[in-house]
Structure 1
Amino acid sequence: MTSPVPSPQLVDAICALLPVVLKREVTGADADTALLDALGLNSTTGLELVLELEERLGLEISVEDLGRDDFTTVGSLAAYVAGNLLADA
């Protein structure tokens, strides 16, 4: 099974939320930006990022299978989100 290709809008939305979640300026973030290594994202801020993304975009994202690997880069998180959207109830 191949990972869905994240939309540029999803990558942009995640990048826009990074300063909000990390409570500091984040410049030059893109799909290849390492969330854990370069930005110091942890499990708490990672979950906060997903929750903020749901709220901003009006989406419901399944976090059941969300793992550390999904937070490797902005692009890997965007791909996870694109492949794990829940249908509106």
Structure 2
Amino acid sequence: MTERDTALPSIDPALREQLVDDICALLPQVLKREVTGATAATTLMEALGMSSTSGLELILELEDRLDVEISVEELGRHDFGTVGSLADYVAQNLIPEA
């Protein structure tokens, strides 16, 4: 385990829920097909067939939608496990406005 795995900051549940909703809303646009019934537990790569390219596109679309910057320095495949794991990553890696 890395320090990142053992020392995760707590995530605001309201922020996480909003991120899950935003990710689910952007999935049809990014995947260019209808996506219904996605939840925090929906697997991005297995259930939805998301590629690494579409994953990065999703991050960029989230930045535009939320008008924020998201650090992608530690973004890995495991962060794209589920909608919820991606929401967790985003919540922990929002770059504060200067």
For Structure 1 versus Structure 2, the TM-score category normalised by the shorter chain is over 0.9
Q: Cα RMSD between the aligned structures? A: 1.1
Higher Cα Rg, which structure = 2
Instruction: Considering Cα pairs closer than 8 Å and 6+ residues apart, tell me whether 1 or 2 has the greater RCO.
Output: 1
CA deviations over 1:43-74 (Å, ceiling 9, x no partner): 10000000000000111000011000000000
**Which of 24, 27, 31 is the matching residue for 1:18?**
27
Shift of 1:2: 3.0
The alignment's TM-score, normalised by the length of structure 1, stands at 0.95
The alignment's TM-score, normalised by the length of structure 2, stands at 0.86
Whose strand proportion is higher, 1 or 2? Answer: 2
Shift of 1:88: 1.0
Superposition pairs for residues 1-89 of structure 1, below 5 Å? 1-2=7-8, 4-5=10-11, 7-89=16-98
| Unpaired stretches in structure 2, ≥5 consecutive residues | 1-6
Shift of 1:4: 4.0
| Unpaired stretches in structure 1, ≥5 consecutive residues | none
Structure 1 segments of 4 or more deviating over 2 A? 2-6
Q: Distance in 2 between matches of 1:3 and 1:78?
A: 14
Q: Distance in 1 between matches of 2:82 and 2:10?
A: 15
Distance 1:79 1:3, change over 3 A: farther
The alignment-based identity, stated in percent, is 67
